[in-house]
């Protein structure tokens, strides 16, 4: 069994190698740190210590990575799906072998509690296995018959693609995007978030170790405004899959417009969880707490807006407040920690700013509402905030409309079903929604009426890999999961064959 102490010493051991080497880029099968590279220090949110020095990619390195991916594409595309399947399973084996290392490094790099990160590595491997198994049939299509013609479709991989990922659960999210791209036969240039580059480099190491051919997988480190921008503008990149904020999504769309890039954008959310009087009280309470306070609240599908019906409001909020006050804030490597530090200074400042915004707007802070110094060593080091519950809020307040992306929940009261739907939809986002009721008809009605890409009825966000994942409105464009991912990473071709000698219109036949 692991303990806080054993986790700390194992993490130190794994991180030691990054102390003496610069983290560079993975281009055409080689780890490279171009001479003269500008470097930035990657700080751990736990105590602001330097986890590693990272090279900043210039346009030149991005171009090299894109060219490597372009050149590697024909051979990867032409490799039989059964071979790709084998390689990607091998890759998943290697992830599993390094699961502890991945989890510990991810925790130190992002501040995410080890309690949740242990599963992230396993889920990453599962993503690869799921799409690996689909690789042999990825090109398969459908047929459609007409009286005198038969149509059939087939799919082929679109080419080299860019994958741009955020800092929240970066390992899991990267595997989620890269696995289907590779299984489909695309080659990849990955740009991880500058705030959490560590596990992306482990993935690149694993790619080399697993025998993924040179150039099929490339990783460039650096900043969005230069490296991300160049990647989304590069003519050899045929599509961009972004997981990021609703500010970055439209920027990338503009950057990719001149090269007519295909875009898949998974963006922000301010997702409602609606609890009706007739809900299973205890299960709803568990789910409400889990879906906003797990993963530090830094989660796109977090249920950050609680709409609670007036009949149970007082009882529900009292029970909720007790649970929130009891959440264990601490060092992410402590197995008992439920909430770790925010990712970095800018995000910490942003989350803190909402504590006064709530007061100015006239909401009540029932629990928390302040930065909390470091529960690790009692100093101000580390980006810790108190788990927070705002009540007596109105839907038009900033704390109800804006994505705070921290362990902060805003509760709003409602009376009737119609009002709940109106409140849920009166927002620019539309990623996810959660409905708690024992009336199945009402569950169905709400699921139909709420403007979101994903609804869960009487459940937290259970993920099913074949099901579509994605948002509407400012939460994004496109869907991931199962065949939806292949549709994005592949072009569909229709072939139409005449069955006989049907009549062809004759032009220019007059004598
Ligand atoms: P971000 O948009 O700031 O950054 C995401 C990535 O985009 C980073 O790698 C960044 O370097 C890059 N980037 C920034 N500007 C760019 C530009 N002009 N061109 C190209 N690339 C650029 O997001 P973040 O702060 O890292 O992540 C948090 C956000 O991600 C939240 O809004 C969250 O809701 C969202 N998110 C969404 C999902 C989803 O599935 N919908 C999942 C996880 C996170």
Atom of ligand 1 at shortest distance to CA of 347?
Answer: 25
**Which of 25, 166, 270 maximizes ligand 1 atoms within 8 Å of its Cβ, making it the mutation to test the pocket?**
166
Among residues 298, 293, 306, which one has the least CA distance to residue 268? 298
Tokens for 126? 């599962």
Instruction: Find the Cα–Cα–Cα–Cα dihedral 396, 402, 407, 410, rounded to 10°.
Output: 10
CA of 86 to the centre of ligand 1 (A): 32
CA 473 – ligand 1 centroid, Å: 16
Position 511 scores a pLDDT of 81
Question: Going by C-beta distance under 8 Å and a sequence separation of 6 or more, which residues neighbour residue 497?
Answer: 149, 150, 151, 152
Q: How many CB atoms are closer than 10 A to CB 6? A: 12
Shortest-distance Cα residue to atom 18 of ligand 1: 225
Question: How is residue 238 annotated by DSSP?
Answer: E
Asked if residue 329 lies in contact with residue 338, where contact means CB atoms within 8 angstroms, the answer is yes
**What residue's CA is closest to ligand 1, atom 9?**
193
Asked whether the whole model's pTM tops 0.95, one would answer yes
Query: What is the DSSP-derived secondary structure letter of residue 468?
Result: -
Identify the residue whose C-alpha is closest to ligand 1 atom 24: 166
Q: Is 495 exposed, middle or buried (0-12, 13-18, 19+ CB in 10 A)?
A: exposed
Burial of 419 (0-12, 13-18, 19+ CB in 10 A): middle
Ranges in the chain annotated CATH 3.40.605.10: 4-267+475-494
The CATH H-level superfamily of 4-267+475-494 is: Aldehyde Dehydrogenase; Chain A, domain 1 (3.40.605.10)
> Which residues, other chains included, contact 211 with Cβ-Cβ below 8 Å and sequence gap of 6+?
87, 90
Burial of 93 (0-12, 13-18, 19+ CB in 10 A): middle
Kindly give the distance from the C-alpha atom of residue 164 to the centroid of ligand 1, in angstroms, as a whole number: 8
For residue 379, the 8-state DSSP code is S
Distance 225 CA to ligand 1 centre (A): 12
Angle CA 128–184–222, to nearest 5: 70
Domain with CATH 3.40.309.10 in the chain: 272-457
CA of 332 to the centre of ligand 1 (A): 23
Residue 309, SS3 per DSSP = strand
Residue 55: its H or E element: strand 50-55
Q: Whose CA is nearest to atom 16 of ligand 1?
A: 224
Supply 364's token pair. Answer: 């009540």
Q: Ligand 1 mean position to 228 CA, how many Å?
A: 10
pLDDT of 1: 78
Side-chain half-sphere of 451: how many Cα atoms within 13 Å? 16
Atom of ligand 1 nearest to the CA of 244: 30
Catalytic residues: 266, 300
Q: b/e per residue, 138-173, with b = 16+ CB within 10 A?
A: bbeeeeeeeeeeeeeeebebbbbbbbbbbbbbbbbb
Name residues contacting ligand 1 (CB within 6 A): 164-168, 173, 191, 193-194, 223-225, 228-229, 232, 243-245, 248, 251-252, 255, 266-269, 300, 403, 405, 431, 471, 476
Does residue 382 come out as left (phi exceeding 0), alpha (psi in the -120 to 50 range) or beta? left
Record the tokens describing residue 341, joined without a space: 């530090």
32 secondary structure, DSSP code = E
pLDDT for the residue numbered 379: 64
**Consecutive 10-residue averages of pLDDT for the chain (511 residues):** 92 90 96 96 92 96 98 98 98 97 97 94 96 97 97 98 97 98 98 97 98 98 98 98 98 98 98 98 98 98 98 98 97 96 97 98 97 72 93 98 98 98 98 98 98 98 96 98 97 98 95 81
Substitution site in 175, 244, 292, 302 for ligand 1 pocket (most atoms within 8 Å of beta carbon): 244
**Cα–Cα distance between 439 and 63 in angstroms, integer?**
56
Among 191, 180, 246, CA closest to 223 = 191
| Number of the ligand 1 atom closest to the C-alpha atom of 247 | 2
- pLDDT score, position 54: 97
Report the pLDDT value the prediction gives residue 378, as an integer from 0 to 100: 62
Ligand 1 atom at shortest distance from the alpha carbon of 471: 41
348 neighbors 342 (Cβ within 8 angstroms): yes
* Residue-level pLDDT at 280: 98
The Å distance, Cα 190 to ligand 1 centre, comes to 13
Question: CATH assignment of 272-457?
Answer: 3.40.309.10
Mutation probe of ligand 1 site: the residue of 176, 241, 248 with most atoms within 8 A of C-beta: 248
Which of helix, strand or coil describes residue 344?
coil
Task: Tell me if residue 409 falls in helix, strand or coil.
Answer: strand
Ligand 1 atom closest to residue 192's alpha carbon, by position in its atom list: 9
């Amino acid at each position: 069994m692991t303990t806080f102490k054993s986790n700390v010493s194992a993490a130190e051991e794994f991180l030691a190698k990054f102390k003496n080497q610069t983290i560079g880029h993975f281009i055409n099968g080689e780890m490279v740190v171009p001479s003269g590279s500008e470097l930035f220090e990657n700080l751990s949110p736990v105590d602001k210590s330097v986890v590693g020095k990272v090279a900043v990619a210039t346009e030149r390195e991005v171009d090299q990575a894109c060219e490597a991916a372009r050149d590697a594409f024909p051979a990867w595309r032409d490799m039989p799906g059964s071979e790709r399947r084998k390689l990607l399973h091998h890759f998943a084996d290697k992830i599993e072998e390094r699961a502890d290392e991945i989890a510990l490094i991810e925790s130190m790099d992002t501040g995410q509690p080890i309690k949740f990160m242990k599963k992230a590595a396993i889920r990453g491997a599962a993503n690869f296995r799921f799409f690996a198994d689909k690789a042999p049939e990825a090109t398969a299509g459908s047929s459609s018959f007409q009286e005198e013609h038969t149509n059939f479709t087939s799919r082929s991989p679109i080419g080299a693609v860019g994958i741009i990922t955020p800092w929240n659960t970066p390992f899991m999210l990267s595997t989620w995007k890269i696995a289907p791209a590779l299984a489909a036969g695309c080659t990849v240039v990955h740009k991880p978030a500058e705030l959490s580059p560590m596990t992306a480099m482990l993935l690149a190491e694993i790619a080399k170790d697993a025998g993924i051919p040179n150039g099929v997988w490339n990783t460039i480190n650096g900043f969005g405004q230069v490296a991300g921008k160049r990647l989304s503008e590069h003519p050899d990149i045929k599509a961009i899959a972004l997981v990021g904020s609703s500010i970055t999504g439209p920027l990338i769309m503009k950057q990719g417009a001149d090269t007519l890039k295909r875009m898949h954008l998974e963006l922000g959310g301010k997702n409602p969880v609606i609890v009706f009087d007739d809900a299973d009280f205890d299960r709803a309470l568990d789910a409400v707490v889990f879906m906003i306070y797990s993963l530090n609240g830094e989660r796109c599908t977090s249920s950050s807006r609680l709409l609670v019906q007036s009949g149970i409001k007082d009882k529900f909020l009292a029970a909720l407040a007790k649970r929130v006050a009891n959440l264990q804030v601490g060092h992410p490597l402590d197995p008992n920690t439920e909430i770790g530090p925010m990712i970095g200074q800018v995000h910490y400042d942003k989350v803190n700013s909402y504590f006064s915004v709530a007061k100015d707007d006239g909401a009540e802070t029932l629990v928390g509402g302040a930065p909390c110094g470091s529960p690790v060593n009692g100093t101000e080091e580390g980006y810790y905030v108190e788990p927070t519950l705002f009540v007596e809020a109105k839907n038009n307040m900033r704390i109800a409309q804006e994505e705070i992306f921290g362990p902060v929940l805003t509760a709003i009261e409602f009376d009737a079903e119609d009002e709940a739907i109106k409140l849920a939809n009166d927002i620019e986002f539309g990623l996810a929604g959660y409905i708690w009721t024992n009336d199945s008809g009402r569950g169905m009605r709400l699921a139909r009426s709420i403007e979101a890409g994903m609804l869960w009825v009487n459940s937290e966000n259970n993920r099913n890999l074949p099901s579509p994942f994605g948002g509407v409105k400012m939460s994004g464009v496109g869907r991931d999961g199962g065949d939806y991912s292949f549709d994005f990473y592949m072009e569909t071709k229709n072939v139409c064959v005449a069955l006989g000698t049907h009549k062809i219109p004759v032009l220019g036949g007059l004598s």
